[in-house]
């Protein structure tokens, strides 16, 4: 089946530094990649949607200069948290939609970010 590889699974960084999270579709081409954030005991919150080769569409309240999304190819999308602060500590997860299966979504394994 379709697999999305997300790295790193855990990262601890210092305040003020930047962290890059990578999601790669291993055996399919992802026309659209979704990036979510999840707080403890809460459901997934969509941060942004990216289509290959175009700028990401950010949800209301999500700072595009802080959460940089790049979807340069049909198999790779990255989320960079810039100038990280402790309040950015969260669980980040991506989801990719296969160009062959409009309704199908494959999720990454998630990244636990801790900013100290």
- Tokens describing residue 116: 């100290």
Q: How many residues bind other proteins (CB under 8 A)?
A: 21
Region of 65 on the Ramachandran plot (φ > 0 left; ψ -120 to 50 alpha; else beta): alpha
Which residue matches tokens 């990244």? 111
**Interface with other proteins includes 107 (CB under 8 A)?**
yes
| DSSP category for residue 54 | S
- Contacts (CB under 8 A) with other proteins, residues 9-68: 32, 34, 38, 42-44, 46, 49
- Binding residue for other proteins, selected from 50, 79, 108, 113, defined by CB under 8 A: 108
Longest CA–CA span in the chain (Å) reads 41
Residue numbers of the site for other proteins (CB under 8 A)?
A: 32, 34, 38, 42-44, 46, 49, 91, 93, 95, 97, 103-110, 112
């Amino acid at each position: 089946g379709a697999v999305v590889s997300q790295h790193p699974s855990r990262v601890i960084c210092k305040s003020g530094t930047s962290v890059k999270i990578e999601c790669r579709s291993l055996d399919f081409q992802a026309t659209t990649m979704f990036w979510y954030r999840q707080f403890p005991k809460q459901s997934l919150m969509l941060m942004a949607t990216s289509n290959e080769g175009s700028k990401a569409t950010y949800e209301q309240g999500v700072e595009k200069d802080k959460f940089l999304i790049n979807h340069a190819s049909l198999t790779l999308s990255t989320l960079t948290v810039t100038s990280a602060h402790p309040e950015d500590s969260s669980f980040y997860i991506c989801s990719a939609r296969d160009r062959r299966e409009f309704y199908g979504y494959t999720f990454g394994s998630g990244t636990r970010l801790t900013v100290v």
